[in-house]
Amino acid sequence: MTNRTTQVMDAIRRKIAERALLAGERVPSIRILAAKMGVSPSTVVEAYDRLVADGVIRSRPGAGFYVADRAAFTSLRPPATDLERSVDPLWVSRQSLDAAPGVSKPGCGWMPPDWMPQAAIRRALRQISRSDNALLVDYGRSRGGQDLRHLLARQCAEEGLPVDPDMVLLTGSGSQTLDLICRLLLRPGDTVLVDDPCYFNFQALLRVLGVRIVSVPFTRDGPDLAAFAKALEIHRPRLYLTNSALHNPTGATLSAQTAHRLLLLAAEWNLTIVEDDTFAALEPDLSPRLAILDGLQRVIRIGSFSKTLSAAARCGYVIARPELVEALTDLQVATNFGGPSPITAEIVRITLADGSYRKHIAATRTRLARARRDASERLDRLGIVPWLMPRGGFYLWCQLPEGKDAQIVAKAALERGVVVAPGNVFSAAGTAGDFMRLNVSQVASPVFEHLAEILRTSG
């Protein structure tokens, strides 16, 4: 089968997967598709014959080809092996989540198990095993347990952001929080601003929601304000998603001046901002926050405990104006009949209240500072240069030696059992082809050796 035949087949399958062609609908005529794709009619004939054989389309003699009854079902996603699958935002997530035990994951977004506070979690589990029947089996309240909501409200107050516990909603996870907010505030076709680069799953989620993604170059102080202002004027976005503290993937810190000017622009253009505070616990000290400056007027604060406490007991939160929290609560009941599992929220609450947790986090910050320094030294020898040295967290946003392509490096690395996060999965504009995000807590011994070898032979 020729490459072109495959292209035609893929184009039809994609249209069906995207529901541009529905079951029973006629597919383009051979002549029209051949002209459109710049291939010969015989190529299209071969492609259609094969699609008929695969049960994707049916031929009605004299009347053309039609999408088979269940093709919308069977063609939802073409089967792909790990290596064939295109390197998109979901690629890194799936490769990292489903990595076999021996695989190294310097591309993943979490720390190894022995860096996490498992002793405190074990204690929490034992404590829960002795608690009330209701906690063990009931759905819990629609906004989540009061004690954890009060604890989060107190933390906000300590940071200079006084909030009522009614402004705190517990959610199933950080990702789910963002999904709920977007489903409430956005409609397909709306525009959302993100940083370039930004956390890749922001993009995966926004694509699911059918919104337009516009990205603004990110500087060492936050978004490029001139580009940001221009994007507001041209695209009139409804939302801006960002991490202010330990920005993912760059590790940059928002400056006070940028924060202030950003909020002025947001007010001028009636922009709502979602500030994702997921990595906050790993900061050495509190850096400027949009939510705090703004007093939650037009900023929504979200976060989770998956990066610093446990990703096996998922629980997110949103802190926002009461009427927004009320609407999000209804939406979470409709889509999930509640928020986090009460048992996981209780694991989080007990661990946060456990004195050992603060000590563990302090020790982890020190450990990460050392790991960042060590990794950047080893990267330096490979000609890989961190864009900046972050104040905290586990990411280094690194530029590869000149002429190297991070996507090729990522594919070569996967063949060697190393999951790498290539730059362009973070860049909506596709301008980070020579960057990669490196997790300094996940670079056990053979990772740098593999990278050295890959850079020598390919990439």
Q: Which of residues 396-455 bind its own copies (CB under 8 A)?
A: none
Stretch that binds its own copies, among 153-161, 317-325, 394-402, 450-458 (CB under 8 A): 317-325
Q: Which of residues 166-185 bind its own copies (CB under 8 A)?
A: 172-176, 179, 183-184
| Beta strands, E only, 374-440 | 385-386, 395-399, 421-422, 435-439
Q: Which of residues 103-142 bind its own copies (CB under 8 A)?
A: 110, 113-114, 116, 118, 121-123, 125-126, 128-130, 132-142
Site string for its own copies, 189-208 (x = CB under 8 A): ------------x--xx-xx
Please name the residue ranges forming H helices in 236-394: 256-268, 290-294, 322-336, 342-353, 355-381
**From the CB of 238, what's the least distance to its own copies, in Å?**
9
Q: Which one of 323, 377, 381, 402 is in contact with its own copies (CB under 8 A)?
A: 323
CA distance 440 to 389: 12
Residues ≥6 apart with Cβ < 8 Å to 351 = 117, 120, 121, 124, 309, 310, 357
**From the CB of 341, what's the least distance to its own copies, in Å?**
4
By the rule CB under 8 A, 389 interacts with its own copies: no
Q: Count the site residues for its own copies by CB under 8 A.
A: 89
By the rule CB under 8 A, 14 interacts with its own copies: no
By the rule CB under 8 A, 243 interacts with its own copies: no
Q: Which one of 37, 225, 331, 385 is in contact with its own copies (CB under 8 A)?
A: 331
Q: Are strands 57-60 and 435-439 parallel, antiparallel or unpaired?
A: unpaired
Q: What is the dihedral of CA 187, 188, 194, 199, to 10 degrees?
A: 100
**From the CB of 11, what's the least distance to its own copies, in Å?**
18
CA distance 457 to 459: 7
CA distance 177 to 180: 5
By the rule CB under 8 A, 15 interacts with its own copies: no
Nearer to its own copies, 205 or 454 (CB): 205
Are 240 and 271 contacting, i.e. CB atoms less than 8 angstroms apart?
Answer: yes
Nearer to its own copies, 303 or 386 (CB): 303
By the rule CB under 8 A, 75 interacts with its own copies: yes
Residue 458 neighbours by CB distance under 10 Å: 14
